[in-house]
């Protein structure tokens, strides 16, 4: 079955943007927080660049890297909760506004840094061949 390249690109853009918006806002306890704009707009800018530059493969790797950071953060929080609990269970990280803000910006920074690294790696491979 033939699928036009424009449709493939549109579906990839929508999936990547949704993955970035969900992953980047995982630390926000309030879905109506103004901080939701950080992963939505930041992710939109990265996705728009990748779509225009035809670098969706590199974007896919960057999104995967961001989700690895989400997983590491989740596991790290669980380990702290088990190993060093204070007088009870620790509150979820999302309940602390400072942590949620730093984490949200940090996850988008991981995305941007990974995307830049994969673009550089792709350019180096292109010149080496």
Flag whether pLDDT at 128 surpasses 60.
no
Closest CA to 50 of 110, 2, 114: 114
CA distance 56 to 4: 16
What digits encode the pLDDT tens for the residues 8-65?
A: 899 999 999 999 999 988 888 787 889 899 999 999 999 999 999 999 999 999 999 9
pLDDT tier, 92 (very low <50, low <70, confident <90, very high otherwise): low
pLDDT above 90: residue 84: no
Rounded CA-CA distance 37/33 in Å is 8
Kindly state the tokens that stand for 14. 């929508």
pLDDT level of residue 99 (50, 70, 90 thresholds): confident
State the DSSP string of 18-43.
HHHHHHHTTT-S-TTSGGGHHHHHHH
Place of tokens 């997983």: 71
Residue 3 has pLDDT above 90, yes or no: no
Residues of the chain above pLDDT 70, percent: 87
Contacts of 82 (CB under 8 A, 6+ apart): none
Report residue 26 as tokens.
């995982």
Q: Is the pLDDT of residue 108 over 80?
A: yes
Distance between CA atoms of 109 and 24, rounded to whole angstroms? 10
Residues 71-82 have pLDDT tens digits of 998 888 777 767
3-class secondary-structure state, position 78: helix
pLDDT at position 53: 93
Tokens of 4: 């036009």
């Amino acid at each position: 079955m033939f699928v036009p390249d424009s449709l493939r690109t549109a579906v990839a853009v929508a999936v990547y943007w949704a993955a970035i918006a969900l992953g980047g806002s995982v630390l926000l306890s309030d879905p109506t927080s103004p901080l939701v704009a950080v992963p939505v707009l930041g992710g939109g800018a990265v996705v728009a660049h990748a779509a225009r530059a035809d670098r969706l493969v590199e974007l896919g790797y960057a999104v995967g890297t961001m989700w690895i950071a989400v997983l590491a953060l989740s596991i790290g929080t669980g380990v702290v909760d088990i190993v060093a609990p204070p007088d009870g269970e620790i509150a979820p990280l999302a309940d602390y506004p400072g942590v949620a803000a730093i984490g949200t910006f940090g996850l988008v920074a991981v995305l941007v840094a990974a995307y830049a690294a994969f673009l550089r790696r792709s350019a180096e491979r292109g010149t080496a061949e």
